[in-house]
Chain A
Amino acid sequence: MKNTLKLIRKAQGLSQQDLAERLGVSRQSIISIERERYDPSLELALKIARTFGTAVEEIFFLEG
């Protein structure tokens, strides 16, 4: 699964640590999601989308 998390996070001026604290997860989780090494659960993906006030499919999408 692909994502635009890094772009959206930077556009909103948030650091990885800030985002991790807002979501209640570790910074390493954010790093791995941004590097597309780890796909978050549906719940975490929805929380991320809500944090940025956007739809989940704006951040996460399938390749191709």
Chain B
Amino acid sequence: MFKKTTRDLRRYYLELGGSMLAYMAALIYVVATRQVDAEGKDVHRFIEVLPIIPLTLAFWAIIRQFRRCDEYYQHIHAEAFALGAMVWGLIIMMWAFAENAGAPPLQIMFIAPGLIAAWGLCLPIIIRRYK
């Protein structure tokens, strides 16, 4: 079981790390070509969304790792994700109300990373509950 878990984790880190490296490369490419294509070429609209491909692979790696976990860890992650989504939802709502009071607008770009961060931050709380 331990060897299987270690092998699974190594595979997960490889998949996730590879996807994130590809994501960073895509981001750098998009930013670098943005100036060149600033003349208004339609093709750059497609290039701008290029980072979503490695990001999809990263999400897929996370889902694959989730499915490799046993039911106990799946339960913990599902609960942490639900709690994280609720906390992050409240933060976004709070920000929206604050925007009416003059706060800077929240970039849509930060919504997905914020959700994942909230999931990660809620994980120790849920783990503690079941230990």
Contacts and interface: CB of A to CB of B under 8 A. Distances in A.
Are A and B part of the same complex? Answer: yes
A32 B1 contact: no
Contacts of B131: 28, 31-32, 35, 37
Contact of B73 (A26, A35, A41): A26
B41 interface: no
Interface in B64-110: 70-73, 75
A44 interface: yes
Contacts, number: 36
A32 to B, nearest CB: 5
Interface residues of B, number: 10
A57 B131 CA distance: 24
A20 B131 CA distance: 16
B1 A26 contact: yes
A37 B130 CA distance: 5
A32 B130 contact: yes
Nearest to A20: B1
Interface string A31-52: 1100101101100100000000
